[in-house]
Amino acid sequence: MKKTLFLLLFPVALMAQPKGLADDLYEEYEPKPYIGGFSFGGSLLSALPLDIDFANGDLERTLNGEIKRVQWLRVSDERYIKEITDDWQKFLDRARYKRIELDDDDGDVHILYIRGSRTKFDEAHFLVKEESNTILITFYGDFTLSKTLHED
């Protein structure tokens, strides 16, 4: 009986999406009335391929991979923005994600946290801090960033 139950549940366990480190953060904050959010994956994404090229002078970078799951949280209630933003940032720092500061022409603060190396990672967390709200967007998948020097 136990063996039959195991054989039935084993394929389901293989198909389940692995839990990311930030899932605890999403589980804690998503049900709050002053925080909006969503999460989707599986058949909605169907391993959405990703292929983005961006250039900086003679250096071109390409981000390739497949997005397997996306999560999103947003706090815009001015009574909670600072406290929640600080909590999210502390969580991501304590979880030892690699922190990458992103420049913005408007003076807004954008931080990228990744799990893995700067060129190969499986989680990317964008923390977008603006005056009127803070957004945390998380992408799970397999991502590779490559660099190419173009000499014309």
pLDDT at site 148: 63
Residue 134: CB partners within 8 Å, gap ≥ 6? 74, 75, 81, 84, 85, 88, 127, 128
Q: What pLDDT does residue 66 have?
A: 82
How many CB atoms are located within 10 Å of the residue 20 CB? 18
Q: Where are the domains of the chain?
A: 17-149
* Secondary structure (3-state) at 14: helix
Asked if residues 98 and 118 have their Cβ atoms less than 8 Å apart, the reply is: yes
User: What residues does 49 pair with on adjacent strands?
Assistant: 66
| Residue 11, pLDDT score | 37
- pTM higher than 0.85 for the full model? no
62 contact partners, CB below 8 Å, separation of at least 6? 51, 52, 53, 145, 146, 148
Residue 60: closest CA among 138, 147, 141, 125 = 147
Q: What is the pLDDT of residue 3?
A: 39
Q: What is the pLDDT of residue 25?
A: 86
- What is the residue-wise DSSP string for 29-80? HTT-TTEEEEEEEGGGTSSEEEEEEEEETTEEEEEEEEEEEEEEEEE--TTT
pLDDT score recorded for residue 102: 77
Give the Å distances, CA to CA, from 131 to 26, 30, 101, 109, 128: 22, 21, 17, 10, 10
pLDDT in tens, the chain (152 residues): 433 333 333 333 333 445 667 888 888 887 788 899 888 776 656 655 666 666 555 566 777 888 888 899 999 999 999 999 999 999 999 998 999 887 766 766 689 899 988 889 899 999 998 889 999 999 888 888 886 655 54
CB 24 within 8 A of CB 71: no
Rounded-to-integer distance, Cα 3 and Cα 21, Å: 31
